[in-house]
């Protein structure tokens, strides 16, 4: 019996104009996520992948928000942690792919940022896109999609929340 390949899911919040952060990287304009929606998603994933800028931003928010699930941090730097669920990966995407397959993870969350997301996208490795549209127009900012090739997706689900958040779910076309 063949094992199913690990699925990678990009789950991000964007402004109406498609930005994930202000030009200076700040995300102070993001509202609190809808708890039910986020909890359901978080329960569905087995591990996380992020770049080191995202990692350091997450650290700056206070308590580590992803305890108990393995977080891969892609970096060329020599970072250290006392956590046993954070792994610094110098071997790039290949090393992550190998490890998640070996451990049999089914669903892995691509947390960001733009470089990590774009690398996975350009290799056709993003199985699902969950995009939460915040009811704000920023006017300028950092796009999640940098140096990515044009990509057509299939809409598979659409939800809205009382706060005005809209969740769009797409899969690879």
Q: Which residues lie near its own copies (CB under 8 A)?
A: 14-19, 29, 121, 129, 131, 133, 135-139, 143-155, 158, 160, 164, 166, 168, 170, 173
Distance in Å, CB of 161 to its own copies, minimum: 9
The tokens describing 27, both together, are 């995300």
Phi, psi (5° rounding) for residue 161?
-125, 155
- When the beta carbons of 74 and 142 are compared against its own copies, the nearer one is 142
- When the beta carbons of 29 and 42 are compared against its own copies, the nearer one is 29
Cα separation, 38 vs 145, in Å, equals: 22
Distance in Å, CB of 35 to its own copies, minimum: 18
Distance in Å, CB of 13 to its own copies, minimum: 13
The answer to whether 98 touches 4, Cβ cutoff 8 Å, is no
- When the beta carbons of 104 and 164 are compared against its own copies, the nearer one is 164
Cis upstream peptide for 113 (omega within 30°): yes
- When the beta carbons of 93 and 168 are compared against its own copies, the nearer one is 168
Q: Which strands, in side-by-side order, build the sheet including 70-74?
A: 86-89, 70-74, 47-51, 107-112, 7-14, 128-133, 166-172
Distance in Å, CB of 146 to its own copies, minimum: 8
């Amino acid at each position: 019996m063949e094992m199913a390949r690990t699925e990678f899911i990009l789950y991000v919040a964007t402004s109406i104009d498609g930005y994930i952060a202000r030009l200076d990287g700040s995300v102070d304009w993001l509202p609190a996520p809808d708890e039910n929606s986020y909890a359901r998603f978080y329960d569905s994933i087995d591990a996380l992948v992020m770049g080191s800028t995202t990692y350091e931003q997450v650290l700056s928010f206070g308590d580590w928000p992803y305890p108990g699930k393995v977080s891969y941090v892609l970096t060329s730097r020599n970072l250290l942690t006392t956590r046993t669920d954070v792994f610094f990966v110098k071997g790039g995407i290949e090393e992550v792919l190998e490890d998640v397959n070996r451990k049999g993870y089914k669903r892995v969350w691509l947390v960001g940022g733009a470089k990590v997301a774009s690398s996975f996208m350009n290799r056709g490795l993003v199985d699902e896109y969950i995009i939460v549209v915040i009811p704000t127009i920023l006017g300028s900012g950092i796009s999640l999609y940098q140096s990515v090739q044009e990509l057509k997706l299939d809409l598979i689900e659409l939800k809205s929340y009382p706060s005005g958040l809209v969740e769009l779910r797409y899969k690879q076309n």
